[in-house]
Structure formats: structure tokens, C-alpha cells
Structure 1
Amino acid sequence: MSSQTSSYPKEVVDPHHHFIDTINNPFQSFLKSLAGEVSYLPEQYIHDVIEPLSQIGVTVCGTVHVEAMPDCGASEVSWVEKMMSSAEQSSFVKAYVASCDLTLDNVEEELDRVIRATPSKVRGIRWILDCVGKFQQGNTATHPATLRHDGVDYLKSPSFERGLAHLEKHNLSFDLQCAPIQLVESAATLFAKYPNLKVCIDHLGKPRRLLGDDLQDDGGINLNTKPDEAELDMWRKGMKAMAALPNAYVKLSMMGYAIPGWIRTPERQALLKSLVLETIEMFGVRRCMVAWNWHVNGAVSDADGGSEIGPDALELLDKFMWFFEGFGEEDRARLFAGTAKEFYSLE
């Protein structure tokens, strides 16, 4: 353990994690086509995150389950809620960010269906948007979710904007997962039109492979310490544009996407720390929240396939404590729980 133990927060909210079971859930056929037969259920999350944190005196006082590309958002929410209400599970999931394709002609009907699945817990909607063109097997910053719409940038779609306008009526937020160039070119302009719609940027704004791949072609560790300045500049411009919107928040999560294998070397860790602190400087602690993004394992949760290693839940907490070493207790409490509680109306 680190020397930060005495300063650990008493409680955390995890505002971003996923449960999946492509083996048994017919509504996860798209996810199954991408990931195959895979399962990650509440008992595994309890074992991986809740219990280890509890053992050092940190209580996970609530979580937000975020959609995992289901074929039907209402079915996914109903499935998780049924697991949470079972005798074997404590109901730690306090809210849902559900899936809904906002470009649908019947988007109001679809939103109503999602909300009816669990009226007291649906807080927001996510539809993965990170797209710089057609998907090319990870060779671009285009997420495989865009295979659902063949590489079309929804942030530039009038039909998406029409659907987005319905969220405000239902008092729903939007989780924004997109590529940095989209933050610059379309997201900031779009969300400025809806000042009463809360939007949370997922995964640190997703700067991509700033130091290159985790490993070299021969399997050795990539020791590059010079970041991709063009990618970094694009990310910085986009995040600053979004930070200018009072309704925009950001999740400090999935940091291995920015620097795959960041826990391997002090230099990588230092660069990642600087990105986290720069993000907090842009948005302020009241609009930033720590998220674990847990599913499958630590490596996948951290790097989304970009590395075979990643911190476990306690290691990640220790790294955040190091990132926040210059912050007071009140600010750390805000980052670990307060912002998420406020954004997702958990209290």
C-alpha cells in the first residue's frame, strides 16, 4: 500500500461501470459480435472493487451502471435492476445511464420505454459517438460501436440533435464519449445550444496513445517519453471548449486509453498525472469525478484493449491519491464522490 492510506476518502461513488453477459442475454448480440462470449456480473464487481476498498475503510456508497452497447436499452436496465433486487445482491447501483439511439424517428417512445424500465433510477443516456471515419480494427480513433451507423459522426447529425433535445424534457443527462477532434469541431457548439442539459465527458476526453503503443513490435516496453503534440493539442482545444460550458462535466477514467501501460514507468505516470491535473484545472473539482470503469478486468477497464496490464482497484485509488496530493480533504471528497452525487442526483 502507499503512504496515502491515512488520507483515503471515507466514501466513493463509482459513476461508471458495466455488467455484461453475452452468453445469456439476447439483447447483447451486438456486443457479442465484438467481444464474443464474456460475462461480468455484480458478484465479480463486488470482489474486484467494493470488497478491496472496504478492507481499507473506503465505502462504495453507490454506483452508476453505464450502458454497454445493448441492442435494447430498456432490456439492459431491467436486467441489471433485477440482479440488484435479488436476495443475493445488495442494491449498490443507485442510477443508470441507459442506451438510446437519439437519431431514431420514434426516439420519444424509446426514451419512455427506457424510463419505464426503472423510473426512479434512469438518470442519463449514452450513445457512443467517438468517430473519425469508418472503423478500421483499432487503427483509427473510431470506436467499434460506430459499426452500428457505419462511421457517421452523430454529433453533426440533425436527427441526433432532435433526439438530444428530448433529454432535457425528461431531466436526463448525456454521457458524451467521443474523439478529441469531435469536441473541437462539433460537441462544444452543439451542447452550448442546450445549457440546461447536463453533459459528462467520458474517459478524460479520450486523447489517444499519446506516447504510442504500450509495447514495441519485439515485445519490449515502449520507452518513448515525448507525447504526440498534435493529438495533445487537439485534446486540449476540445476540452477547453467544453470546459467553457457550465453544464459540462468530465470523468477521470479509462486513462490507459491515453497512455497504454501507463503504470509501467514513472515517466508515463507523471505524464498522466499532468493530464489529470490539467483537466481539473480546466473544469474545476466541482465538475470532475473519479470513475473506475470496471468490467472484465483491470487492464480492459483501464485501456480498452490498448494494454495487457492495468491497475487493480486499490492501485488505481493509490494513483488518484498521488494525483490529488496537493488537494485538500474537501476537494478530494468532491472528486471521489460529491460531483458524481450531484451530477446523477444520487442524494
Structure 2
Amino acid sequence: MQFIRQCFGMSKKVPQRIVDPHHHFYTPSVEAGPGGHSGFLRKLGAPDYPPEEYVKDKSQLNIVKSVHVEALPDDGVAEAAWVASLIKEGRAPTVKAIVGKVDLAAPDAAQKLEALVKTSDLVKGVRYIIDYDGPWGEDNGTHPEVSRHGKDYLRGPEASDFERGFSLLAKHGLSYDLQCAPAQLPAAAALLARHPDIPVVLDHAGKVRKLDGGSADAAKIEAWRAGVTQLAKLPQVRVKLSMLGFLVPGWTDDAAKEAIVVGLVKELLALFGPERCMFASNWHGSGASSNADYCDECQPTMTELYEKFQGWCDGPLGLDAEAQAMVFAGTAEAFYRI
């Protein structure tokens, strides 16, 4: 990983204080395990990633708080209860908030939300992955999770059911982690505009997909830009700067590709401001999964990612100390109330 420390004159400097607002634990190898991961994640071939691995992977990074985000469980309530138990046992010392999973379009969404919030006072939000870009396949932006139902919850006939469940988040004081495909962003913005009392964070920088500097990039970026611009106009919306290798596979090994990533991050900072942006590790399993969702095989460590983020802030992003404190910690603390 010699290259990863060379672009933009980056040093080994890391942020002084980090709140990591997005990471995962799971144990699919455990048959009928307490985290509810032995079904779908096992089919995907995911290896176990218990909290002890996160502690090891963060190494000497000063991660003072973190947020556990649902990890495709078969039972979201069971997963939240499991994470809460890990915290009580002292196995997950950084975790101060839990983002659980509830299918907000399901007929029992109200009951599931009631059950979710009862698992722990640390439950602060909900994520239900809804990336839909046509029937699931390797060549589109539909998420494997969506293959479980194959529906477009933002633009399809299920949208009204989803909105009904989404509206219930306000009753419980919960936020929503929005993960969708770029083509869905305008529909998402319209939905969120009708519910200004529900805090929302856009996951993974809006998930524009597989940019490489080629001729196809312009149309992808144009669609992404139109969507994130609409979201930025809504004051309740934040954005996570994470999983950047999904946006630009191979950026950790190619200066030109890294420049594309930096340009996207800079654009999001200009739209939302540092007080509405948060860097996140998305850490789970490996550098390839965390950084790129397996879109490439690069294996940066968590420390190398944060070295890179810090180098950008000191260099091409030009963020002062106050802005850096927000993107590395303050924005996440405020959003998740931790």
C-alpha cells in the first residue's frame, strides 16, 4: 500500500478524535445465532465479524464513540438486542448508538418499531436498504438485500406503504439511514420534504457507482448530482462520506481515480457544509468490503483510510480545525444524539 500514502502529499497523520458513525458486527457461522445473521448473510458467504475484530482493526485510532448499523439480519429486532448485549458485556466499548432494521413497508412495521425501541435506549435510528435499479444483477445498482423482495420502495407501487411506515419514525424520535440508488434520490427528496421532522442521513455519499474516468462517468455524475442537490436543500438531511471504493473502485491505488473521489467529496462538502457531513469507516470483514463493497480487491486498513481522509482535509479539501472536528466527530454526535 505504498501508493496510499503518496497522493496529495499525504502523511501518516490521523484525526485526533473520531466518532465512527457506520460499522457492522455479524456472526453468520453461528446457526440460529442471537444476531439473526445465519440466513441471508450466510448465503452471501460473509465471514464472521465480531466486535473484537473491530477493536483490533481500529488499532491505535482514537475512536471515542461509534454507531452500529444493521448488517442485513434476518431479524432486525434480534440483531439490535444482540448488539445491546455485546455493549453490556463490554465487548463493544465504542458503540454508543444502534441503527436497527425494520421493513417500513411491511404490514407489521408499527409493531416491529415498538419492539425495536424496547431492545435498548441506544436504538437511535432505522436503516432499511432500498437501492433499486431494476431486477437485481451484477451489472446494476440494485443491492443484494433488495433481491429479497425485488421492490422499489421509493418509486414503485409500494411507495405509499413505505411512507406510512417511514412516518412512524417521528413518533419514536428515530432517525433514518437512507441507502438508495442515485436514480431514486429525487423521489427520496420528495418523500423527505413531506416529513421534515425526521432526521435523515444519506449513506455512502449517495452511491454513484463504478466511476473510472471514462466517457460513461458524466451521465452517472449528472444524475447523482441532481439527486444530492435536492437532498441538500432539506435541512434535516446529513450525508456519510463512506464506502468510497464503491464510487470509484481502485482509488487507493491510482492517483487519477483518487482525484475523482476527492472531487465528489468536495462537492458534497460544498452542498451540505461540514456540519452536515461525516466521514465513516463502514468497517466490517475487510478493507475490500468496507471501502468498496467488493467492487475491487484493494485492502486498505482502517488506519490507512483515516490517514487518507485526514490528508484530504489538510490538503485539497482545505478544511480548518473546526470543520475537521465536525466531519470526524461532531456531525455524527449531533445526528445520533450521542
Same fold (TM over 0.5): yes
Query: Is the CA contact 1:276–1:323 (under 8 Å) kept in the aligned structure 2?
Result: no
Map 1:97-136 → 2, pairs under 5 A = 97-118=99-120, 120-136=121-137
Change (3 A) 1:25 1:294: farther
1:299 & 1:149 partners in 2: Cα distance? 26
Amino acid across the alignment from 1:130: D
2:204 & 2:277 partners in 1: Cα distance? 11
Amino acid across the alignment from 2:19: V
Map 1:47-86 → 2, pairs under 5 A = 47-49=56-58, 51-53=59-61, 59-86=62-89
1:90 & 1:235 partners in 2: Cα distance? 35
Amino acid across the alignment from 2:153: Y
Partner residue, 1:179? 181
1:318 & 1:162 partners in 2: Cα distance? 42
Deviation digits for residues 301-324 of structure 1 (CA, Å, limit 9, x no counterpart): 011010011421121112111221
1:271 & 1:323 partners in 2: Cα distance? 12
Deviation digits for residues 67-89 of structure 1 (CA, Å, limit 9, x no counterpart): 011111111011122122225x2
2:282 & 2:327 partners in 1: Cα distance? 15
| 1:305 equivalenced with 2:332 (yes/no) | no
Map 1:252-331 → 2, pairs under 5 A = 252-325=241-314, 326-331=318-323
Query: Is the CA contact 1:96–1:124 (under 8 Å) kept in the aligned structure 2?
Result: yes
2:119 & 2:100 partners in 1: Cα distance? 10
| 1:201 equivalenced with 2:190 (yes/no) | no
TM-score by length of 1: 0.89
Deviation at residue 134 of structure 1 after TM alignment: 1.0
What secondary structure is seen at the aligned counterpart in 2 of 1:154? coil
What secondary structure is seen at the aligned counterpart in 2 of 1:20? coil
| 1:233 equivalenced with 2:225 (yes/no) | no
Cα root mean square deviation, aligned: 1.7
Change (3 A) 1:243 1:311: same
What secondary structure is seen at the aligned counterpart in 2 of 1:189? helix
Give identity over the alignment, percent: 40
Change (3 A) 1:253 1:284: same
Q: Provide the aligned length of Structure 1 versus Structure 2.
A: 323
1:10 corresponds, among 16, 21, 26, to: 16
2:12 & 2:294 partners in 1: Cα distance? 33
1:43 & 1:319 partners in 2: Cα distance? 24
Deviation at residue 6 of structure 1 after TM alignment: 8.9
Task: Identify unmatched segments of 5+ residues in structure 1.
Answer: 54-58, 212-223
Amino acid across the alignment from 2:145: A
1:135 & 1:270 partners in 2: Cα distance? 30
| 1:334 equivalenced with 2:334 (yes/no) | no
| 1:345 equivalenced with 2:298 (yes/no) | no
Partner residue, 1:19? 25
TM-score by length of 2: 0.91
Deviation digits for residues 254-281 of structure 1 (CA, Å, limit 9, x no counterpart): 0000111111111111111111011110
| 1:31 equivalenced with 2:40 (yes/no) | yes
2:173 & 2:39 partners in 1: Cα distance? 28
Partner residue, 1:149? 149
Amino acid across the alignment from 1:319: K
What secondary structure is seen at the aligned counterpart in 2 of 1:330? helix
Deviation at residue 35 of structure 1 after TM alignment: 1.9
Query: Is the CA contact 1:100–1:126 (under 8 Å) kept in the aligned structure 2?
Result: yes
Query: Is the CA contact 2:13–2:311 (under 8 Å) kept in the aligned structure 1?
Result: no
Deviation at residue 10 of structure 1 after TM alignment: 2.2
